[in-house]
Structure 1
Amino acid sequence: MLPRLRGWGESMSRSGGGMGTGGGIGTRGPGETKIETDRRRLRARMAKLRRELAGMKTVRATKRSSRQRSGVPAVTITGYTNAGKSSLLNRLTGAGVLVEDALFATLDPAVRRATLPDGRTFTLADTVGFVRHLPHQIVEAFRSTLEEVADADLLLHVVDGSHPDPMSQISAVRTVVNDIDAGDVPELVVVNKIDAADPDVLARLRRSIPDAVFVSARTGDGLSTLVDVLTERVPHPDVEVCVLVPFTRGDLVSRVYASGEVLDLEHTATGTLLRARVPVGLASQLAAFLLEPA
C-alpha cells in the first residue's frame, strides 16, 4: 500500500503545494510534504488496526471456545471480495451485518445462529473477502480473523457468478484457504448473483462444479435449494442418548432442542423422556439422567 501511496502522493504533493506550513493537530508539520503527511497518517491507521485486531483475537477465541463446547456445528462463509457473502448471510439469517464493496470490510467475523428446517441449529460466520495474489504479510496480519475458516465444520464458498472469470477467483480463495491450513475443511460452493450473470459463464460453472448451488442473494432465487443442501451437509450430532430429564432441568431439554436432534419425546409424571442425538459435550451433561437399556 505504501508504494501505491507514493504514486498518489506525487500528484497530491504537486496539487497541494509540496511543502506544508504547519497548522492544527494532524496537519503537516514545518517542512513536511503532503506525501510525508499521508504516510504518517497511514502508518498511524495501520497501527490502530493492528491494536484492534489484537483485541478482536482474544474475543473471537473466547467465543469460538464457547461454541465448540456447546457442540453447535459451525459454518463459515468465505469467498472472493465482493462475491456477496454478507448479503447471503443477511438473507439466510436476517442479520444486519456490514455489507460493503471493500477488501477486509468485514474485519471481525459476524457470527449468527441459524436454524435448519429439521430444528437443528448451527452458527454462520461471515469472514473477510480474499483477492488474488494476497501478500503473505496480509495473510499473517489477518490470520486470527481467518481462523474462523480453519475452525469451521463446513465452508460456504460464495462465488460471484456475474464475474467474467469466476474460476480464477475460486482458485485464489482456495489458495488462501490452503495457506491457513484449512484445505481439509469440507466445502460447499455457492454461485451468487445469478440474476446478473452471463448464461454461458453459469453453464461453464455447472459443468466444472456440478455440486455447486446457484443463488441470488438479491432476489432470493435458489435459497430454498441452498437450505436443503445445508440440511444435508451440516454435521449431525453423533451421540444417541435416552434420558429422563426432571422438570427442574428444563434448560437441558432446551439445549437438546438447540444443538441436538430429538428423535422421540414423552412427558411423564417425573420428567421429560427424551431420545435424541446430541454432541459429545452435551451427552456428558445428560449422563446423570441416562436410562438403562431395557
Structure 2
Amino acid sequence: MEDTEVASRVEFHGVAYVVTVSVRDQQLHVQVEVDDHAPQAAGPSTVSPRGTTSSQPAAANGNTEMTCWTGSFPSAYIEELTRKTGNFKRFSIFVNMLLSALSHRSDAVFIDLLTTSDLELYRKRKIGSKGLFPSKPQDVFDNFPSAAAGGAASNKRYLILTYAVEFDRVHYPLPLALVQTPSPEILQRTIRRLRQELVASNRDSKVLQLHDEVEALKEENRCLKSTLKQHFEPSSASENVNFLNQPINQDGAESPIDLQRELKATLTENKELIAIYQQLREESSAEIGRLKAEIK
C-alpha cells in the first residue's frame, strides 16, 4: 500500500479532536489530539448515540499543553486483529475502511474513541447480554487492561473502528497511549497538518478576495454601460456597442482559476468601455467647441 497521511477534525462524546491517520512502510500510525481551538461541550461526561457513557477530559494532564494519544501498528498486527474478530481484512482494506470512516464516506463504517473505563463498563454489561459490542469481541477486548490497573493503562484511549454488516457489527479496537513528551515524529506530523490548514486557509482567502474583486468590477461594468447607453443613439451607434448587450457571466466561480479568468475578461471589457466613454467625451467637447464658434 502506498504511503499516505490524512487528518480530520472529529467530535467524540462532546469533545473535539484532530485524528491523523498515516501509513509509512506498511505500518499504520494513528494520532488523536485534543483540538484546543474548538469549543468544547459543557459537562464532565456525555452519552454517545451508541450508548457509551464516557468522561473524556479536554486535557488529561491538567494543563494547556498538547494532549494526544498515539499508536503504531504493523500490517501483521492489524491483520491478526481482524482475524480474531472473525471478519478478516487485509491491511490495505482495513486502512481504506479507517479512512472512509474518518471522512464519513460510508455509513457502513464509523469510529469512536473510548476510555479504559468504557471498556470496563462493556465487560460488566457483557454478562447475560450482547452488550455494547454484539459482534463476538471477546478475543480483541478481554486482553486489554482494566480501569483498576491504574497508571498508564488508565490514561489509554481506544479508537474503535466499527464495520456494520448485515445483522451484525464488527469492532476493531486500536489501543492508543497517552503521549507524555511529544516525539519529533509527532511534532512533525502536527506541523505538516498545520501547514496544510494554513495553505487551505490562504487559498480560501484568495478565492474570497478574487470573488469580491469580480463583483466590484461587475458593478463598475454595469455603471459604465448605463452611462454609455445614455449618450449613444441606438440607431447610429448600435454597431459600436453591440457587446454592451452581451450578458456578463453571472455564474459563481468555484475556483481561483475561474475567478482569475473572469476577472481578466471583465477588466478587458471595462477598458473597452472606458475607451469608448473617453472617445465620446472628446467628441462631445469638440462638438461643443464647434457650436460655440458658430454662435460667435
TM-score of the aligned structures, taking structure 2 as reference length: 0.21
Larger radius of gyration: 2
Point out which structure has higher relative CO (alpha carbons under 8 A, 6+ apart).
1
TM-score of the aligned structures, taking structure 1 as reference length: 0.21
